[in-house]
Amino acid sequence: MFQELNSFSSLEKFSNSQNKQSVNELSLDFSEHKIKDGQINILTQNLLKFVSLTTLRINLNNNKISQQKLNELIKNLDKQENLTDLQIGLAQCDLNDDYDLGNILANLTKIRNLNINLSKNDIWEKGAADLGKGLSKCEQLIELQITLNNNRIYNEGLLELGTVLGQSKSLKSLQLSLNQCQIGDEGMLYLSQGISNSIQLRNLVLSLQGIQLQDQGFQNLYTSLGKCQNLTELKIDVSNNLLGKTEVISFFEAFEKILSLQCIELLLYNNKIGESWIQNFSSGLKLIKNLRNLTIDLKFNDIKIQGAVNLIKGIAGCKNLRSLNLDISRNQIDYNKMEDFFNQLRFCTNVAVFVLELRQQMRNFDFDQLKDRLKKMKRLVYIGINLQK
């Protein structure tokens, strides 16, 4: 029987709620200074009354919680015999390396799906290393999402964190967000070395916006990830970085041997990517034999018409592709000279869903000619083209 999710944003209403013993799912929003350190005891005592709880979402963002009270809260969560799914928000809580996050999280021995937000705190290398050590004790984890945006995590901390994640024998899905952490190429090398050992991962999402990443660091990342032999879905967001200054080897050749890989999403917008970079990067697409879904976001770069043509040529070589989402807007492309680009579409014979973002008026383009090219995509059942500014 369907049971409605129980939601509370007031500690008083939560404490006075009825039927605690029968609730399976619970959502608590005590963010933005809604709970004081001295009230954690009340929160903890009430949570222990939810004996049937399997899923808990608790938002404590932007509060000031002491190490002692945070440890007390997490320890008591482990007493929930049925709790397997936990989402906890601890962003902007003034957490730092002295909190010993590792020992705190090590208490979550029964959790299978964990989503923890630690953004905008004061976590450095030691804190990240401790976090990794704590997660290594969570041996039941299958799905893990860690958000560490806007912290100060560097080399050794990233190595410890990446190594622990890579050595997990149970982890199938990992989402790791390090946006604005300024880790650079060297930090990326450490993180890549750790995660590359993960032989169990099926789904990997890395969000690495604005981390001062350059071409060599990015190349180190994807060549390392090519060792994750069981990946089926991969998403990498390296937007707002420093890519495009030097040549790189093919991204897709790195994943040639991963036969299970079916879905790739690459967010590369707002870099300095140009003609030769995108040609080298996109070569080898045809080597990923079972790729079905491809998304590439390249807006706000320096790509010209020939770069766009070379890109679609590479994509056309991927014969099993079913869904293509491509954003090449806000580049240096003369959109009134797109004939060669659209001519290549006829080779994308198995694509059924095609979304193209141009966000530009094409005043002189022959749209009847475009329709004719699209008819060559014989399996096409949906097309979306955004042309307007």
Tens digit of pLDDT for each residue in 98-130? 988 888 888 888 899 999 999 999 999 899 989
300: left (phi over 0), alpha (psi -120 to 50) or beta: left
Question: pLDDT at residue 366 above 70?
Answer: no
How far the first Cα of the chain sits from its last, in Å, is 49
Q: Rounded distance, CA 328 to CA 300, Å?
A: 8
pLDDT (mean) for 274-296: 91
Q: Which range, of 11-20, 156-165, 168-177, 241-250, averages the lowest pLDDT?
A: 156-165
Q: Please list the alpha-helical segments (H only) found in the chain.
A: 11-15, 40-47, 67-77, 101-105, 125-135, 155-167, 184-195, 215-225, 275-282, 305-316, 339-344, 367-375
3-state secondary structure of 384: strand
| Beta carbons within 10 angstroms of residue 187's beta carbon | 26
pLDDT in tens, 63-94: 999 999 999 999 899 889 999 999 999 999 99
3-state secondary structure of 238: coil
Give the rounded percent of residues in the chain with a pLDDT score beyond 70.
Answer: 96
* pLDDT value, residue 3: 45
Q: Rounded distance, CA 119 to CA 131, Å?
A: 13
Global pTM value: 0.94
Where b means 16+ CB within 10 Å and e means fewer, 293-331 reads: ebbbbbbbbbbebbbbbbbbbbbbbbeebebbbbbbbbb
Residue with the two structure tokens 């014969």:
319
